[in-house]
Amino acid sequence: MTSDLPCSQACENNKAPILEKLKTLFNAPGKVLEIGTLTGQHAEHFAQAMPHLQWQPSDHPEAAHLCRSRLKQAALPNVLPVVELDVSDTNWPVESFRWVFSANTAHIMSWREVEQMFRHIGERLPEDGAFCLYGPFNNQGEYSSESNRRFDQHLKSQSPHMGIRDLADLSALAESAGMTLAENHPMPANNRLLVFRSLL
């Protein structure tokens, strides 16, 4: 790994266990839209391990530059050019995809942005697709660990719009967007991988 590239230790820690699950979910050719590519570590690792996919990296216009150097250096043939994507925009720069992957974004976005993300994905998700959302989540208002409670307090001290989301709220949001929470996988470090599928 080149030391001058932006790097997230969390991505390094979680990319292997996430990949194990994604291999069973993204098991056929298709395009994956990644929302919140950040440093590009997930995009590089997953696209290299799953060459049958077209990986579409994206991030907020203010952060999209962070992954470009890494992905340019990796030069993987199945990684598409990075697009700037603000989930609140009416028109998304990516109109079609089979799958969506997003890691550690729902607790950074405002709730309105989470709502918009679900709505836009629900409008475009095909029947044989899936939306995979990774991160820490609460269950019926309860933290899954003391570390998650401290993390939530840290997030809210940075900005009141941030915070760990509850599974019931996300499940209801998915239903309103034409999706359902089909799978809920426990992951290391008190995280989970949620798999939403179309109700169609």
Task: Say which CATH number the domain at 44 has.
Answer: 3.40.50.150
Mean pLDDT of the chain: 95
Give CA–CA dist 51/48, Å, rounded.
Answer: 6
Q: Looking at residues 15-19, what average pLDDT do you find? A: 97
Identify whether the C-beta of residue 79 lies closer than 8 Å to the C-beta of residue 46: no
Does 4 reside within a domain? no
- Whether residue 2 is predicted with pLDDT greater than 60 in this model: the reply is no
Does 151 reside within a domain? yes
Domain that holds residue 194: 9-21+29-198
Predicted confidence band at 3 (pLDDT cuts at 50, 70, 90)? Answer: low
Write down the pTM of the prediction: 0.96
Task: Give me the DSSP letters along 28-49.
Answer: SSEEEEEE--TTSHHHHHHHHH
Nearest by Cα to 117 from 176, 60, 35: 35
Domain count for the chain, please give it: 1
- Whether residue 20 is predicted with pLDDT greater than 80 in this model: the reply is yes
- Whether residue 65 is predicted with pLDDT greater than 80 in this model: the reply is yes
Does 40 reside within a domain? yes
Q: Looking at residues 127-138, what average pLDDT do you find? A: 97
